[in-house]
Amino acid sequence: MTAEVLTPARQQSVLATLRSPRRLRTEVLAGLVVALALIPEAISFSIIAGVDPRVGLFASFTMAVTIAIVGGRPAMISAATGAVALVVAPLVASHGLDHLIAAVLLAGVIQIVLGALGVARLMRFIPRSVMVGFVNALAILIFTAQLPHLLGVPWLVYPLVAAGLAIIVGLPRLTTAIPSPLVAIVLLTAVTLAVGFSVPDVGDEGDLPNSLPSLFILDVPWTWDTLTVIAPYAFTMALVGLLESLMTAKLVDDLTDTHSDKTREATGQGIANIVTGLFGGMGGCAMIGQTMINVKESRARTRISTFLAGLFLLILVVGLGDIVALIPMAALVAVMIMVSVGTLDWHSVNPKTLRRMPKSETAVMLATVVVTVATHNLAYGVIVGVLTAMVLFARRVAHFTEVVDVADPEPGTRVYAVRGELFFASSNDLVYQFDYVGDPDDVVIDMSGAHIWDASTVATLDAVTTKYAAKGKTATIVGLDDHSAERHRRLSGQLGGEG
């Protein structure tokens, strides 16, 4: 994936931004655009989870404000998400809101523990092809999420969406002083109200709250049975949230050519979910779509935009709810369509790239995309993609192992040279590569061109020497490098079943 490096490349500090009116304006306007885009999604995710829209909206507020302070990736947006909504929906249906809040609190604790254990370091094991699949699947999901707002609607929606797209694409060619998505939302709202168009608006998505969030009084039995009910959901929520957040953070790192603290991000997600649970929110994690609006479309770079996105969200839905409810969904749909277009890695689906790319890399990318789109869960897609990459890698490396005869050995001796990386996938057939009956009494197995990686290989070598011993012959293993020799010395004869 070729990341578009956005300027300035250096990480911008909050204090430096506060001293610069131009940078501060960018952050403020970005936060406003994101807040407007959060409203319909938070309501939709609340419906998916089976809770009141206020639960999702307040969760988005508390997540954004908290993660702006404690998170590790500046400018990344965290709020109520569809992935979390899908995870908790069965719990809400079977046990209600109180058990959901208990699960959110427990998920936050689990995320803090996982952050302390260094789970963020596991990001190094996610291949590039999985990242490309993650991005492409996300682009597809963002686009398909707009289809309900484009099907079975008044015909006026379509010219409004087209006008919104034209503004978002064309305005940056004239000026970048104001984010084009914000201009599109304001202009389309003004036109719709002035002309009196009857089109779906934000108010049609659900009721907006009319009061500030308050501390939630949890009413669940503090028993082992309650823990067994919420623990599976909490653990799944914690893993899905961390995976989606860390993947999004890595994507933003690439886009901005900066580095972020993934361990702090993991811990920050846990703290944000605990705060969200305390205020009766449904929990959440990083939102890739809104993050792309913030970072790529609006060019925000600091925690200010994230904090203001949460603050503006609260002001808009509580203080200005009647006005926000009049925003046509066509305007927000246009914004999200452009986000999906900008998110897709077009280079990765170019026919020239696909012809040049190894089939295994393409298979991993497609597996990630297909599973993610089918399940609407980015975490599942990434897990399947990583597992597919591991299997294909093991299969490819296993073919590089070979056993060959060494010419002109000493009389009465046969020398085998083993070459390649030896692990469970490549060493299982090793035992069949020797002529136990036809070989002379002395056999030398030269391992100088190989490396032992696991106990399976040691067990295989034990099986080889045992088979020779059963024929009254001696097999000597030589040429092991230091690490292989230490592993062989420690495990040889201790694994059982050598014969």
Q: How confident is the model at residue 345 (pLDDT cuts 50, 70, 90)?
A: confident
Q: What are phi and psi of 289, to 5 degrees?
A: -60, -55
Q: Backbone phi, then psi, for 47, in 5-degree steps? A: -65, -40
Find residue 79's DSSP bridge partners.
285
Q: How far apart are CA 169 and CA 250, in angstroms?
A: 26
Q: Looking at mean pLDDT, say which of 30-44, 52-66, 367-381, 482-496 comes out highest.
A: 52-66
pLDDT tens-digit series, residues 180-231:
888 899 999 999 999 998 999 988 887 788 788 899 998 899 899 999 999 9
Residue 128, number of CB atoms within 10 A of its CB:
13
Percent of the chain with pLDDT over 70: 97
| Residue 381, H or E segment | helix 378-398
* Per-residue tokens: 241: 């949230």
pLDDT digits (tens, 9 = 90+) for 281-336: 999 999 988 898 899 888 899 999 999 999 999 999 898 888 888 989 999 889 88
Distance CA 291, CA 77 (A): 5
Q: Give the mean model confidence (pLDDT) for residues 335-363.
A: 88
Structural contact between residues 218 and 98, judged by C-beta atoms closer than 8 angstroms: yes
SS3 of 418, please? strand
Residue 416 confidence class, pLDDT cut points 50, 70, 90: very high
Of residues 51 and 444, which shows the higher confidence score?
A: 444
List the single range of 78-82, 91-95, 219-223, 395-399 with lowest mean pLDDT: 395-399
State the Cα–Cα distance between residues 451 and 406, nearest whole angstrom.
18
Q: Which residue has the higher pLDDT, 399 or 266?
A: 266
Output the pLDDT for position 4: 41
Q: Which amino acid, one-letter code, is at 479?
A: G
- Crossing angle between the packed helical segments 224-256 and 82-95, to the nearest 10 degrees: 170
Upper half-sphere CA count for residue 155 (Cβ side, 13 Å) = 0
Joined together, the tokens standing for residue 104 give 């959110």
Q: What is the mean pLDDT of residues 3-25?
A: 70
The mean pLDDT value for 26-54 works out to: 87
How many CB atoms are closer than 10 A to CB 147?
A: 9
> Which residues have a Cβ under 8 Å from the Cβ of 335 and sit 6 or more positions away?
33, 37, 164, 168, 181, 184, 185, 293, 297
* Residue 496 pLDDT: 63
pLDDT number for residue 253: 92
Q: Answer whether residue 275 shows pLDDT above 90.
A: yes
Residues of the chain with pLDDT > 90, as a percent, come to 51
Tens digit of pLDDT for each residue in 134-172? 889 878 888 888 898 899 999 999 999 999 999 999 988
pLDDT for residue 302: 94
Task: For residue 50, give every residue at least 6 positions away whose Cβ sits within 8 Å of its Cβ, in sequence order, or none.
Answer: 89, 92, 93
Per the document, the length of the chain is 499
Burial classification of residue 473, based on how many CB atoms lie within 10 Å of its CB (0-12 exposed, 13-18 middle, 19 or more buried): middle
Q: Mean pLDDT highest for which of 20-24, 203-207, 249-253, 277-281?
A: 277-281
Please, which pLDDT band fits residue 429 given cuts at 50, 70 and 90?
Answer: confident
**SS3 of residue 454 by DSSP:** coil
Give the whole-angstrom CA distance, residue 325 versus residue 314: 14
Give per-residue burial for 225-253: e unless 16+ CB within 10 Å, then b.
ebeebbeebbbbbbbbbbbbbbbbbbbbb
Residue type, 356: R
Phi, psi (5° rounding) for residue 127?
Answer: -70, 160
Across all residues in the chain, what is the average pLDDT?
88
Place of tokens 């002395």: 442
- Mean pLDDT over 82-104 rounds to 90
Q: Tell me the pLDDT band of 364, cut-offs 50, 70 and 90.
A: very high
Tell the residue number behind the tokens 């490096």, with chain if given.
Answer: 5
Contacts of 257 (CB under 8 A, 6+ apart): 3, 5, 6, 9
3-class secondary structure, 478: strand
Cα distance between residue 55 and residue 128, in whole Å: 36
Report d(CA 282, CA 56) in Å as an integer.
Answer: 6
Per the CB < 8 A criterion, the answer to whether 108 and 274 are in contact is: yes
The model's confidence at residue 397, banded by pLDDT at 50, 70 and 90, is confident
Q: Helices (H) and strands (E) in the chain — how many of each? A: 20, 6
Tokens 């201009």 appear where? 183
Question: What are the tens digits of pLDDT across the range 374-390?
Answer: 987 777 888 899 999 98
- Could you report the per-residue pLDDT of 95-139, keeping only the tens digit for each? 999 999 999 999 999 999 999 998 888 777 788 898 889 889 878
Nearest to 236 by CA among 283, 180, 172: 283
